[in-house]
A and B are shown apart, each in its own frame.
Chain A
Amino acid sequence: GAVVSQHPSWVICKSGTSVKIECRSLDFQATTMFWYRQFPKQSLMLMATSNEGSKATYEQGVEKDKFLINHASLTLSTLTVTSAHPEDSSFYICSAPTLAGAKNIQYFGAGTRLSVL
């Protein structure tokens, strides 16, 4: 199956700093990617849709200036958590859909655990 690589897998940062998370589709092109956050024992919450060559679309309640998304190529989307605070500590996951065999299936990265001190 298709592979989505997410980096880093774990990051610890000080409050007030910014953190960048990368999401790459390794063997397919993705004009669209999705970013989620997940708190312990909860489901994935969609944060935004990353669109190659255009602005991201954010879900209601997600601050676009706080969570900067860039999708500069067909295989790479980045999420930057700006001026991170402890409440931003969470598990962040990206995904990319592929139309392999006409099936639209989401392939997910392994996730990034962000801990803000």
Chain B
Amino acid sequence: LAKTTQPISMDSYEGQEVNITCSHNNIATNDYITWYQQFPSQGPRFIIQGYKTKVTNEVASLFIPADRKSSTLSLPRVSLSDTAVYYCLVGANTGGFKTIFGAGTRLFVKA
């Protein structure tokens, strides 16, 4: 499983766009990149998944450069409720792949 590196913490203000970058230099050809969000005392929640280029859904965008050695989760116009820990995971998109969590990025959104 490819190791991931993220900033330990980030601060932002309400209404700003937040970009969290994840490094995964050893990503394999079959690996997908998946981001999860976790609030205190809750299980993680799926945000977005991608393989290359750009993926967008109703909550976030995921930018993946051509070499796929990094990815950036973009949260548009954050609110206080986006304060959470964000995890970047890399793994093969096959049934039941083992999910190893890194340290994650603790995002704190201020008023």
On A, residues with C-beta under 8 Å from B are 1, 4, 6, 31-32, 34, 36, 43-46, 49, 91, 93-95, 97, 99, 102-111, 113
CB pair B34–A105 under 8 Å, yes or no, is: yes
A34, A43, A49, A105: the one contacting B46 at CB < 8 Å is A105
Q: Chain B residues with Cβ under 8 A from A105's Cβ? A: 34, 46, 49
The 9 closest A-B pairs by CB, nearest first: A108-B43, A32-B96, A44-B101, A43-B101, A104-B93, A93-B43, A105-B46, A111-B43, A108-B44
Measured in the bound complex, the distance between the Cα atoms of B34 and A68 in whole Å is 29
Query: Considering the chains assembled together, what is the distance between the CA atoms of A113 and B43 in angstroms?
Result: 11
Q: Which of B42, B87, B91, B94 has the largest count of A CB atoms less than 10 A from its CB?
A: B42
Interface of B: prevailing SS: loop
- Measured between alpha carbons, how far is A46 from B97 in the docked complex, in Å? 12
A97 and B91 CA atoms in complex are apart in Å by: 12
When the two chains form their complex, are residues B43 and A46 in contact, meaning their CB atoms are under 8 A apart? no
What's the A-B contact tally at a CB cutoff of 8 Å? 69
Interface residue ranges, B against A (CB under 8 Å): 32, 34, 36, 41-46, 49, 87, 91-104
Known: A36-B101, A104-B94, A104-B97. 11 other contacts (CB 8 A): A31-B95, A34-B98, A34-B99, A93-B44, A95-B99, A104-B95, A105-B46, A106-B44, A107-B46, A110-B43, A111-B42
